[in-house]
Amino acid sequence: MVHVVSLQPSFLPRPSPDDQGDGDALRFCSTCAFGRACLGDGYDKQALEDLHCLVEHTAPLHAGDEVFRYGQPFNAIYAVRAGMVKTRRIDEQGREQILGFFLPGELVGLNGLYSSRYPCDAVALDTVTLCRFAFPALSVMATRLPAIQQTLLQLMSKDIVNAALLAGDYSADERLAAFLVNLSDRFAERGYSPTRLYLMMSRSDIANYLRLAPETVSRVLRRFQDEALIAVEKREVTLIALDRLQHLARCVLQS
Amino acid sequence: MVHVVSLQPSFLPRPSPDDQGDGDALRFCSTCAFGRACLGDGYDKQALEDLHCLVEHTAPLHAGDEVFRYGQPFNAIYAVRAGMVKTRRIDEQGREQILGFFLPGELVGLNGLYSSRYPCDAVALDTVTLCRFAFPALSVMATRLPAIQQTLLQLMSKDIVNAALLAGDYSADERLAAFLVNLSDRFAERGYSPTRLYLMMSRSDIANYLRLAPETVSRVLRRFQDEALIAVEKREVTLIALDRLQHLARCVLQS
DNA sequence: GTGGTTACCTGATCTGGATCAAGTCGCCGC
DNA sequence: GCGGCGACTTGATCCAGATCAGGTAACCAC
For A6, counting Cβ atoms within 10 Å of its Cβ (0-12 exposed, 13-18 middle, 19+ buried), the class is exposed
Average pLDDT over residues B170-189: 95
The pLDDT tens digits of the residues spanning A117-167 come to: 999 999 999 999 999 999 888 888 888 888 888 888 888 888 888 887 788
Which nucleotide in the DNA or RNA is closest to residue A212, CA to C1'? C17
Distance from the Cα of A120 to chain B's closest Cα (Å) equals 9
Q: Which segments within A15-161 are labelled E, that is strand?
A: 55-58, 66-68, 76-82, 85-90, 96-102, 107-108, 121-124, 129-134
A54-88: buried (b, 16+ CB within 10 Å) or exposed (e) per residue? bbbbbebbeeebbbbbbeeebbbbbbbbebbbbbb
Q: What is the mean pLDDT of residues B118-138?
A: 92
Q: How would you classify residue B193: left for phi > 0, otherwise alpha for psi between -120 and 50, otherwise beta?
A: beta
Q: How many Cβ atoms from other residues are within 10 Å of residue A93's Cβ?
A: 7
DSSP A199: -
Q: Does residue A147 belong to the interface with chain B, where contact is any CB pair within 8 Å?
A: no
Q: Which residue has the higher pLDDT, A241 or B147?
A: A241
Provide CB contacts within 8 A for A201, sequence distance 6+: A84, A86, A101, A125, A209
Q: Is the pLDDT of residue B176 over 80?
A: yes
Whole-Å CA distances, B179 to B95, B145, B175, B197, B210: 22, 35, 6, 11, 8
Residue among B89, B107, B114 with most chain A CBs within 10 A, to mutate: B114
Cβ of B251 within 8 Å of Cβ of A93? The answer is yes
Cross-strand pairs, B239:
B230
With a cut of 80, say whether residue B49 has pLDDT above it: no
H or E element, residue B198 = strand B196-198
Nearest alpha-carbon partner for A241 in A250, A232, A231: A231
Between CA B63 and CA B4 the distance in angstroms is 15
Which residue of A110, A153, A168 is in closest CB contact with B139? Answer: A153
B169 pLDDT more than 50: yes
Note the pLDDT tens digit of each residue in A211-248.
Answer: 999 999 999 999 999 999 999 998 999 999 999 999 99
Nearest nucleotide to A218, CA against C1' atoms = D9
CA B218 to C1' C10 (Å) is 9
8 Å CB contact between A77 and A140: no
Contacts of residue B216 in chain A, CB cutoff 8 Å?
A: none
Q: Which of residues 159-178 of A touch B (CB under 8 A)?
A: 159-161, 163-164, 166-169
Strand order in the sheet with B76-82: B7-9, B55-58, B129-134, B76-82, B107-108
Residue A185 to residue A173: CA distance in whole angstroms: 18
| Helices A172-189, A242-253: inter-axial angle, 10-degree rounding | 100
- Cβ-defined contact of B157 to A99 (cutoff 8 Å): no
Window 209-248 of A: residues touching B by CB (8 A cutoff) are 211
Instruction: Confirm if B47 and B144 have CB atoms less than 8 A apart.
Output: yes
Q: Which of B169, B179, B166 is nearest to B220 (CA)?
A: B179
